[in-house]
Amino acid sequence: MRLFNRRNLVLLLALTALVIGLYLWRRLGGSVVTVTVARARTGNLVQTFRTNGVVEPAEFREVRAEFPSRVIEVLAREGEDVRAGQSLAQLDDRDLRAALAQAHSGLLEAEQAHAKLRDAGPLNQLEADIAQAKADLALAESNLRRNEALLKQKAISQLEFEESQAAYQKAAERLAALEKQRKAQVDRLGPLAEDEAQARVAQARVLLANAESRLRATTVPAPIAGTVLVKPPRPGTIVNVGDVLAKVGKTDQLQVRAFIDQPDFSSIQPGSSVQITSNGFPGETWQGKVVSMSAELTTIGKRVVGEALCAVVEGRSRLPVNSNVDLTFTSREVHDVLLAPVDAVFQIESRSYVYVVSGGRLHLRQVQVGASSTESIVIKSGLQADEMVLNDLEVRPQEGMRVAAQQ
């Protein structure tokens, strides 16, 4: 009985070893796993990045409020074509009309004061009066000298002599008064006074021009001929200085204002190509190029971005203005390099490896890699062109595994 049990135990162990051996043989050497593979190839690596943007006309103008006011009437609709200067809305102009009347009055007053200052009539009359006063003084002085001699000869009385003295004094005082008036008149007509009068007139004209400009602005004229992109606020709206009243643009040539994250912004430049897509036009692509870039970065939410204006060069359909689009920029191109799929390369302890498919089995091989894109990676060494590598993320590869390759 004991011998039977020992023999049975030996048979059982042998059978178990046979089963395990068959399993390992089928697992490691006997079974064939179908895997997806790809060949290393020589080609060009194109690095791209994606971002978003807004479609706008290449030429547009915004009309902003120049002064606080209230919208009285809206005269244009969004999407309407307008002429340059056409009224888009009417603002309250009552205060501005009163200011215009006051500016007209101020200019008239300044011009009249200037004209009066330059009038030479009063000065000419003073010159004539002074000439007569000088003649009168000379005659009075002659009479005084003659009467003085006659008084010494006692030919006239003291009273007559004093009367001639009084006449001389009166003539001298009148001449002095007239000369003082002339000096004041000449000083008033001097260069400084003339400059002040001219400056007052010029200032009054500026005030009048500003008043007229503000009054014209109450009609909210279209700055250019084009399409109304943003219509004026509804009637009754209070607007402050700088508020957007309307936006007019030419829609025959469009551009996209792209917002590019800081790490990618330095990789493009004016002239860089871009592909544009829109969710509203599935399957369609527009070609564009960068025409200008912002000098500074700005913060939008949690993003630090730079702005790039991209001209829409080619496309079958017309992109709607103000619509959101996706842009794919080409940031770098590397020519004539050995490429493998990104998914074929994996890391072990900071080293790069691939599984090469050779003789129906997988062989682990170390490689050196370079730049990469979303699909391909540059192989610097460790792999040759046309060699086949495993490119299947659903398989758990092992060294020596038997595989059936499908590309």
Q: What pLDDT, in 10s, does the model give residues 284-301?
A: 999 999 999 998 888 888
286 forms beta bridges with 276
Concatenated DSSP letters for 234-290? Answer: PTT-EE-TT-EEEEEEEEEEEEEEEEEEHHHHTT--TT-EEEEE-TTSTT--EEEEE
Give the pLDDT of residue 121. Answer: 54
Give the pLDDT of residue 1. Answer: 44
More confident residue, 165 or 124: 165
Q: What pLDDT, in 10s, does the model give residues 106-124?
A: 878 877 776 766 555 566 6
Q: What pLDDT, in 10s, does the model give residues 216-240?
A: 888 889 999 999 988 899 999 999 9
CA distance 97 to 89: 17
Concatenated DSSP letters for 275-343? Answer: EEE-TTSTT--EEEEEEEE-SS-EEETTEEEEEEEEEEEE-SSPPPTT-EEEEEEEEEEEEEEEEEEGG
Give the pLDDT of residue 54. Answer: 92
More confident residue, 95 or 388: 388
Domain limits of the chain?
32-45+335-406, 48-54+250-334, 119-188
> Average pLDDT of 312-329?
87
Give the pLDDT of residue 122. Answer: 65
Backbone φ and ψ for 308, nearest 5 degrees, come out as: -130, 130
Give the pLDDT of residue 248. Answer: 92
> Average pLDDT of 379-404?
92
Backbone φ and ψ for 273, nearest 5 degrees, come out as: -85, 155
Write the CA distances from 41 to 190, 222, 246, integer angstroms.
93, 59, 56
The CATH code for residues 119-188 is 1.10.287.470
**Residue 380 pLDDT exceeds 90:** yes
Q: Which amino acid is at 273?
A: S
Query: In this prediction, what percent of the chain has a pLDDT beyond 90?
Result: 31
More confident residue, 99 or 64: 64
Q: Which CATH superfamily is domain 48-54+250-334 in?
A: Efflux pump adaptor protein, beta barrel domain (2.40.30.170)
**Residue 390 pLDDT exceeds 90:** yes
Task: Place 255 in a pLDDT band, splitting at 50, 70 and 90.
Answer: very high
Task: Place 191 in a pLDDT band, splitting at 50, 70 and 90.
Answer: low
Hey, is 200 helix, strand or coil?
A: helix
> Average pLDDT of 174-190?
76
The CATH code for residues 32-45+335-406 is 2.40.420.20
**Residue 404 pLDDT exceeds 50:** yes
More confident residue, 184 or 40: 40
Give the pLDDT of residue 315. Answer: 81
Average pLDDT, the chain: 84
**Residue 200 pLDDT exceeds 60:** yes
CA distance 341 to 407: 12
Which 8-state DSSP code applies to residue 29?
A: I
Give the pLDDT of residue 107. Answer: 77
Vertex 335 angle, CA 330 and 336, to 5°: 150
Give the pLDDT of residue 193. Answer: 61
Task: Place 302 in a pLDDT band, splitting at 50, 70 and 90.
Answer: confident
Give the pLDDT of residue 343. Answer: 92
Of the listed ranges 106-120, 137-151, 275-289, 307-321, the least confidently predicted one is 106-120
**Residue 37 pLDDT exceeds 70:** yes
> Average pLDDT of 269-288?
90
Residues 6+ apart with CB under 8 A from 254: 55, 56, 57, 58, 312, 318, 319, 321
Residue (of 272, 279, 282) closest to 308 by Cα position = 272
Of the listed ranges 151-155, 353-357, 372-376, the least confidently predicted one is 151-155
Pairing of the two strands 33-39 and 403-406: parallel
Q: What pLDDT, in 10s, does the model give residues 43-78?
A: 998 888 889 999 989 888 999 988 898 998 999 898
Report how far Cα 235 is from the mean position of its chain's Cα atoms: 29
> Average pLDDT of 168-174?
90
